[in-house]
Structure 1
Amino acid sequence: MHGKNKQSQWMSIFLCLFLFGCAQLETQNRSTRKSQPPSKDATFDDHATEVNQNDEESNDLQPAPTRPSDLEAPKVGLILGPGMALALSHAGVLREFDKAKIPVSGVVGLGWGAVVGGLYAKKGLANEVQWRIYKLKKEDLPERGFFSSALNGKSVDSVRGFLKDGFAKTMIQQSEIPFGCPMISLRRGLTVWSHSGAMADIIARCLAFPPYFKPVNGDLVGDLFALKESVAFLKKRGAQLIVFVNVLHKGELLPKEYLKDQYMSAILWAEIRKTVQNSYGMMSEVVQVDTTAYQLTDFEKKQALVMKGESAGAEAVKRLREKYRF
């Protein structure tokens, strides 16, 4: 009983920290701040960058530029949003972008969006991403029973086998397309990015999002709220057109049977969805994947989700070609 109370207390503290962060982000978006000189990057673990409120990567709130001129195609920066199983639909969007030869110059993935984004950035081949997603075995994926004991939290090592198979020994600095996934250092209270190291290990840290996964080394968790920082990350690497892919729908994200015992998870995802919607003004374009019939835990429906992504991606390509003449 004591252990259970301790877990509940920890989760309550974690939830409060995230809700406070959301409120702070919304307040910053609505207020005008005095310009301050950017702070220097700090070293963290494998040369990660700490991002604070004075850093240029987190301080740029203006909408992304659309197009430099009518004579050249803009460089596209992709942000693949969070959504656990729903994020598998990103593979379909990437497939359509690849077919249309949309020039992607950088990718950021949030949560499970980091898995799909990382697989794509590794070689820049959407076909391989789709093949990897379809190749996922039942033992590679979290089952519904996994989420029923979410308050206890599991080690991210439970999916590390799949990550090592997908990324082998690829280092993030060797990826074909610049890639990043934001994390939070709970000790420092800052968003951090890893600029070097094994992609499998870095993405594992970005997946470590309580209550489902425990923090890595008791400190690092995925930062699913870091939309502003993600825009700045891509702009700093030359992106001129920021395209955000949202896979979260307006319906029930979690099965009803989980709401009684997993209400903190429901609150967290409601706040994540709200933060995502409030970030649209920072983006050049938003691609909305229709995942209404699916929930965060529907990993076994990966093929149907990828097809939903293909449909949304095809519509997005038409719009992008009309507006930006790719």
Structure 2
Amino acid sequence: MKKTIKENYKIGVALGGGAARGYAHIGVLKAIDELKIPIDFISGTSIGSFIGALYASGNLNQFEEEIQSKNSFIKDVLFKLDPIYPKLAVMNGDEVIKVFKKLTDITTFEELNIPLTTITTDIVKNEKIECNSGDLINAIKASIAIPGVLKPTYINDTLCVDGGLIDPVPLESVIKMGADYTIAVNLYGLESSEKEDEKYNIIDIIDRSVKIVLNNIAHLSFKLNKPDLLIEPPIDQFKGWDFHRAKELIDIGYEEGKKSLTENKLFI
């Protein structure tokens, strides 16, 4: 029996990782807003923490406009994450943080309009770290620190890397925050909106291998904490560095989000 939203239910949204595929989160959140579904809590891993923070700060629409404009320094920064540029293969996370700072002056979790938890990985102890108070900027920087792409970040003397390694879709976090109804957005699903017959190069093989592992981890975690609604945009054909395909990803996220939300009759 499906749980439906009661008037006093608190709604939590968990945004998974996925690098450039994270643009699909923008579309899903647009669908949620369009249907006037209030979000009480947000959790995010990797790109999910970045998008979640922008949404919670009220600046996600501005980010969407920037990444789709022809002349935007934001696009220049994100394109540097493409692995075909070996000299830029290990960037300082400050480059990406510049994007966030251009869009908002918010620097702490307490300033956000919606409570947010970001996830990062203690690379030494192999433990999950949840950040939900204090320094927002450093928390995002740690959560998006993709190994081999962005440099690790210290949080309280702990060396941290991308949260997706340990919690690809942080559903448990919004439950702990107090959510009665949970929506999980998994960007590692292997279904696609189109079928491509292509030859994979070594970078493609690595990208797909990581996606398979993280998708399996996410679904194993869903057996422990089952989301009331699981949204998995069909974006398997997109690579983790397809930052130049923002509009396509946003549109697919929107369509899948709206479809999933309306089919599950959230307003009963």
Contact 2:67 2:75 in 1 (8 A): no
Out of 188, 197, 214, the position equivalent to 1:248 is 188
1:79 pairs with 2:3:
no
CA 1:308–1:249: 2 relative to 1, 3 Å: same
Q: Secondary structure at the match of 2:161?
A: strand
Helix, strand or coil at the partner of 2:258: helix
Q: Does 1:284 align with 2:228?
A: yes
How far 1:154 moved relative to its partner? Answer: 2.9
Contact 1:85 1:298 survives alignment (8 Å): yes
- Taking a change above 3 Å as real, the CA distance of residues 158 and 258 of structure 1, as seen in their structure-2 partners, is farther
State the distance in 2 between where 1:130 and 1:120 align. Answer: 11
How many residues align structurally?
Answer: 255
Shift of 1:257: 2.5
Cα distance in 2, alignment partners of residues 91 and 276 from structure 1: 20
Give the equivalent residue in structure 2 for 1:294.
238
Alignment equivalent of 2:259, drawn from 315, 320, 323: 315
> How has the CA–CA distance of structure 1 residues 197 and 71 changed in structure 2, closer, same or farther, with 3 Å as cutoff?
closer
Deviation at 1:145, TM superposition (A): 4.6
Q: Match for residue 202 of structure 1?
A: 139
Measured in 1, the distance between the counterparts of 2:206 and 2:258 equals 36
The unaligned stretches of length 5 or more in structure 2 are: none
SS in 2 for 1:219: strand
Higher share in helix? 1
Counterpart of 2:163 (choices 217, 223, 233) is 223
Question: Please, which of 181, 188, 191 is the counterpart of residue 125 of structure 2?
Answer: 188
Residue matched to 2:30 = 95
Question: Paired residue for 1:271?
Answer: 213
Amino acid at match of 2:201: E
CA shift, 1:301, in A, is: 0.7
Gaps in structure 1 of 5+ consecutive residues: 1-64
Preserved CA contact (<8 Å) 1:122 1:170: no
CA shift, 1:284, in A, is: 1.4
When residues 132 and 77 of structure 1 are mapped into structure 2, their CA distance, relative to the original with a 3 A threshold, is: farther
Q: Taking structure 1 as reference, are residues 133 and 238 closer, same or farther at Cα in structure 2, changes over 3 Å only?
A: farther
State the partner residue of 1:114.
49
Letter in 2 for 1:110: T
Describe the SS at the equivalent of 2:183. strand
Residue in structure 1 matched with residue 68 of structure 2 by the alignment: 134
**Matched AA of 2:47:** W
- Residue identity in the other structure for 1:310: Y
Rg larger for: 1
Q: 92, 104, 108: which one pairs with 1:155?
A: 92
Measured at CA, do residues 312 and 76 of structure 1 come closer, stay the same or move farther in structure 2, by a change above 3 Å?
same
Tell me, what secondary structure is at the counterpart of 2:219?
helix
- Shift in Å, 1:173: 1.6
Cα 1:155/1:265, change in 2 over 3 Å: farther
CA distance in 1, matches of 2:217, 2:126: 18
Counterpart Cα distance in 2 of 1:126 and 1:306: 12
| Residue in 1 that maps onto 2:115 | 178
Aligned identity (percent) is: 20
Structure-2 change in CA distance of 1:174 and 1:183 (3 Å)? same
Measure, in 2, the Cα distance between the counterparts of 1:71 and 1:277.
26
Give how far 1:144 is off: 6.6
Say which SS state the counterpart of residue 87 (structure 1) adopts.
Answer: helix
SS at match of 1:224: helix
Q: RMSD in angstroms over aligned alpha carbons?
A: 3.1
Q: Residues 45 and 168 of structure 2 are in contact (CA less than 8 Å); yes or no, is this contact kept in structure 1?
A: no
Q: Which is further off, 126-135 or 310-319?
A: 126-135
Q: Normalization by structure 2: what TM-score?
A: 0.81
Per-residue Cα deviation, 1:59-111 (whole angstroms, up to 9, x for no partner): xxxxxx935xx752532111111111111111011011011111211111111
Given residue 164 of structure 2, which amino acid in structure 1 is its aligned partner?
Answer: L
